[in-house]
Amino acid sequence: MRKQNNAPAQKTKKQYRKWLLTVIFIIAAANYLGSFYFTRIDLTSDKRFTLAGVTKNVLKQLDERLVCTVYLKGDFPAGFKRLEIQTREILEEFQAYNKNVRFIFVNPSASGNLKKREHFYRRLVNIGLNPTNLQVKTKNGLEQQYIPSSVTKAEKYLLNC
């Protein structure tokens, strides 16, 4: 009895293995082909993640690696945290169209050492990123006014690519 049962089991084991390769192949092929022909549907009501045709064209033509360093990271009040997240999101959106777009978020105030931090700030000033002190007393309401002007007013530096 046992032998009889084992024989077909062995066979199916082989079959499963063969099929597994087929399944993996199909999955790999589908994902590979899918990476060339894709659509992105932006369901947000204000279409804030839809890139303009011009932007898409520029991204298509980009065939060198483009690294953006964004000096916007750290312990921010909610409004700036949001700015950071949305900056990241829009960069990710660029990246979805062209993998050559890379980005790093840097915390300009990361160093606990005051001298080092000052030095870093000065270096940023030298490349044209002027810091402004940020005095946000956060309780909702006040924030709202602050955010639109915050990109240029931030104490934390923002470098656009």
CA angle 161, 52, 38 (to 5 degrees): 100
Among 25, 30, 57, 122, indicate the residue that binds other proteins (CB under 8 A): 30
Question: x-or-dash pattern for other proteins, window 53-92, by CB under 8 A?
Answer: -------------------------x--xx------x--x
The 3-state DSSP class for residue 160 equals: coil
| For other proteins, the closer CB: 45 or 130 | 45
The dihedral through the CA atoms of 52, 58, 61, 64 has a sign that is: negative
Contact region with other proteins (CB under 8 A), list: 19-27, 54-62, 103-111, 115-123? 19-27
Token pair 């790999």 is found at 28
Task: Select from 116, 151, 105 the least CA-distant residue to 131.
Answer: 151
Tell whether residue 40 is a contact of other proteins (CB under 8 A): yes
Q: Which amino acid is at 86?
A: Q
Considering only residues 115 through 144, tell me which ones interact with other proteins, judged by CB under 8 A. 140, 143
Shortest Å, Cβ 84 to other proteins: 12
Stretch that binds other proteins, among 29-37, 55-63, 68-76, 148-156 (CB under 8 A): 29-37
Rounded CA-CA distance 103/95 in Å is: 9
Q: At 3, phi and psi to the nearest 5?
A: -65, -45
Lookup: tokens for 37: 């022909």
List contacts with other proteins (CB under 8 A): 5, 9, 12-13, 16, 19-20, 23-24, 27, 30-31, 34-35, 37-46, 49, 78, 81-82, 89, 92-93, 95-96, 99, 102, 140, 143
